[in-house]
Structure 1
Amino acid sequence: MGAAYFYHLTQRPLVETLTMLLSKAQGAGWRVAVRGTDTDLLAQMDAALWQGPDDGFLPHGLAGGPHDAEQPVLLTTQTDAPNGATCVFSIHGADVTADEVAALDRVCILFDGLDDLALNKARGQWKKLKDAGASAQYWSEESGRWEKKAET
């Protein structure tokens, strides 16, 4: 049974945090789907990931290509990931379900804590998952480093 990890971004930009977490997921051997809500925003994220640090190549692809099933990290707006993802990263308010949390190794929900809409969406997701009995953790970087603040 998996868990949902909520990451409340207040100090670092999304792409920086996502890159760090994706590297950790790859280190754990997980295949990942990065689920967004807008293909244009995912295309921007794709371009930003290709321009990551020189010492940390992060192999990934944008859904819709001929090699989606082979991608260790697939950026998509779909709930079904053809790459056999065992971990889903939700960005830009993409929905996840308690059933996904239970079925996957990990679900990571990244949200901009300086954006009221994103913050309210994350609060709603936390409540929905908690009410459904899903395991969840809330992580904040408010102090300048990541700290676990709550757990269900």
Structure 2
Amino acid sequence: MSGKPEIWFYHLERSSLDQVLPTLLEKTLERGWRALIKSSHAHRLDDLDERLWTFHEESFLPHGRADQPHADRQPVLLSESGENLNGAQALFIVDDAELGATEGIERCFIIFDGRDATALQQARGRWKALKAQGAELAYWRQTDAGRWEKAA
């Protein structure tokens, strides 16, 4: 690990966060990594908490909240502070949460809604600032068929 994570921007245009995030989390766990989801909105974390229990009828994504007991044991941790209590290798930034400390993180996913002008502007500003800092960036966009394609 280099000390700086790869930072991947996911531009939502055809799907919602509720549709995309569980799939990305499944792939993260399949890789043997833990995940940390950071949002600056408690209500968003409440919604995600419920969604991760119910997104498939036959299964769920094991997860917990940073403000609850045993946060360090959770494969997927939901947090407002972004403190890496579970030793996650993957950091998921949703809404307008700040990136914060990235020690121990291999890959950061900044997921934004491209249909929201404010979110799009914030993502563009973040991209420029991170690029100026020499971050390793990638930009992923959905095709018309709904698949993810690396666009930059």
**Is TM more than 0.5 here?**
yes
How many residue pairs are counted as aligned between the two chains?
148
Q: Which residue of 1 aligns with 2:96?
A: 93
Q: Extract unaligned runs of 5+ from structure 1.
A: none
CA RMSD of superposed structures (Å): 1.5
Shift in Å, 1:68: 0.5
Which amino acid in the other structure matches residue 134 of structure 2? Answer: G
The CA distance in 2 between the partners of 1:21 and 1:93, in whole Å, is 19
The CA distance in 2 between the partners of 1:132 and 1:80, in whole Å, is 22
Identity of aligned residues (%): 40
Shift in Å, 1:142: 4.3
The ranges of structure 1 where at least 4 consecutive aligned residues each deviate by more than 6 angstroms after the TM superposition are none
Q: Which residue of 1 aligns with 2:149?
A: 147
After superposition, where does 1:1-150 map in structure 2 within 5 Å? 1=2, 2-96=5-99, 100=102, 103-143=104-144, 144-150=146-152
TM score, norm. by length of structure 1: 0.91
Shift in Å, 1:48: 1.3
Shift in Å, 1:13: 1.0
Q: Extract unaligned runs of 5+ from structure 2.
A: none
